[in-house]
Amino acid sequence: MYHNPVLLKQSVDGLVTNPDGIYVDCTFGGGGHSREILSRLSDKGKLYAFDQDLDALKNTIDDPRFTLINQNFRFLENSLLAYGVTGVDGILADLGVSSHQFDEAERGFSIRSNAPLDMRMNVMQGLDAKKIINEYEEEDLANVLYNYGELRESRKLAREIVHHRKTKKINTTDELKSLFSYIPAFKQNKFFAQIFQAIRIEVNQELEVLKELLVQSYKVLKPEGRLVMISYHSLEDRLVKRFLKNGMFEGEPPRDIYGNYKKTFELLKTKAIIPDDKEIEENSRARSAKMRIGTKI
């Protein structure tokens, strides 16, 4: 089941400025954003959507203005070139795991269901959660838990995983969770969410893929084109915020003799746009959502 997209109206309001334009939905999923975008376009408008998940292909839209590309959005620029598209008027990405992927228990994304350790957004790729948990070196595993799960005790946790797997392979989400049964009940939800987030980000290389998308977005957007990014945790939002501010992910941009740097985007609003209480009540996934919208200068 695909749920209603987060910040649907606000995101498409910020995206579509030209009904005759060319737009990209980088995270098609159930097609909610795409359908809303198409409702704002004229007969001349065009929408290209990306999704690497084979399940999403079942939701394709029968509309001559619409093209669904079964690719990771890290291939944005080349995939659009294959259709003869060199410039677009707007790009939207609703990052992270879709509600459908969480709800499909066997995919292994949810902490609530026992399932094989998988967590692949693209089930055709080789690296999955089981491989990370059972084969990564202790130091690499600790780095994943620290960098992507923001777990301060990452070295201790990695050591416990490595110690356990020496005698028995860890195959399922419940087997992984059972290693940390000593965690107090009131802390378990947050703790396991951090563990699962860290592994999932590593499986899907989510932060590297996001960086590639942002860089390519700037290249393919026309001047005055809009970039709309919806993120669900601070690691994503930090990258989006910095890129929209100065086109970089770390360090400081070069400045002229007056101390000014060349801006790449004009922010529609200085602060992130967040869902209201009503939307959060109707869709729990919206709780952590932050949306930022930039206009290419």
Q: Please report, in range form, the residues annotated as the binding site for S-adenosyl-L-methionine.
A: 31-33, 51, 73, 94, 101
Known binding residues are: 31-33, 51, 73, 94, 101
Rg (Cα) of the chain, in Å, rounded?
20
| d(C-alpha 99, C-alpha 38), whole Å | 22
| d(C-alpha 18, C-alpha 99), whole Å | 30
**H or E element: which one contains 240?**
helix 234-246
> How far is the first Cα of the chain from the last one, in angstroms, to the nearest whole number?
39
Convert 177-196 to b/e letters by CB count within 10 Å (16 or more is b). bebeeeeeeeeeeebbebbb
> Residue holding tokens 């922010």?
267
13: left (phi over 0), alpha (psi -120 to 50) or beta: alpha
In this structure, is the dihedral angle defined by the CA atoms of residues 101, 271, 7 and 10, taken in order, positive or negative?
negative
| d(C-alpha 41, C-alpha 47), whole Å | 9
Chain Cα centroid distance, residue 275: 17
Strand partners for 94: 230
Do 121 and 95 form a contact (C-beta atoms < 8 A)? no
